[in-house]
Amino acid sequence: MTIKINNFNVNDLIERHKSGISVNELSKTFGIARVTINRWFEKYGFQWRNQHETEILKWQKMTPEQRFNQTKAAHDAVRGSTRTIEDLSRRAIGKQRTKCYIGQGENEFFDYFIKNNLNAIQQQAFDNYNIDIAIDNSIAVEILFNGTSPLKRKHDIKKIKHLLKYNWIVIYFWFKPKEWFSESNLEYFTSFIKGINRNPSNRSKYFVIRRDGELYSTGCLDSIN
């Protein structure tokens, strides 16, 4: 049975995605929001690839020579060297410009934030870190798909502490690896951000929110071990 929604053939989108075309590429080609494509896929029981799975598929399609060339330049650049803070800061700026390190779920969150009039920037560089999505240059939104809390991950703890020192509000939306989010989740998260932003006393605080909207943890710089 051919499925058509708003004149788009969802079966065709599914077959294109199976062939290796990412949801991001489908979105650009057909002018459909990523979150909408994912919602269609979910409605008809098709599990789309996340960012990690897309990278694996791309790697599998490369020849051995292509794989070698893909990694050689990066290895040569850092071999035998110690990266300074300045080097890492320049690298962070490069990531913001190229958007080549966008993680799972970030595009869908960003699209929804923009649609709901939040002043959002993807992969914003701040010193030697990149913020998944920055709101109003004051709220750092991080989207984490992992079995471990960000408060138990060394890189995330360092990032949170650094941002809090500079008066940012840090919000982690934390999902387990096989979890995903719906439009109602995005609506709640957006309302949460707007509410947090209206209260000046939330500056230099962090919040960890689970998929169902549960407040897993909140605190300030002094409360992080």
What are the extents of the domains in the chain? 4-49, 100-223
Q: How many CB atoms lie within 10 A of CB 30?
A: 13
Q: Give the residue from 120, 91, 104 showing the smallest Cα distance to 54.
A: 104
User: Band of the pLDDT at 39, cuts 50, 70, 90?
Assistant: confident
Query: Does 2 score more than 50 pLDDT?
Result: no
pLDDT over threshold 50, residue 80: yes
∠ CA 74-78-79, rounded to 5°: 105
Residues 6+ positions from 11 with CB-CB distance below 8 Å:
2, 3
pLDDT category of residue 83 using cuts at 50, 70 and 90: low
What's 100-223's CATH class? alpha beta
Q: Which residues of 168-197 are buried (b: 16+ CB within 10 A; e: fewer)?
A: bbbbbbbbeeeebbeeebbebbbebbeebb
Would you say 146 and 153 are in contact if contact means Cβ atoms under 8 Å apart?
yes
Pair 176, 156: CB distance under 8 Å: no
Higher pLDDT, 36 or 112: 112
Model-level pTM?
0.62
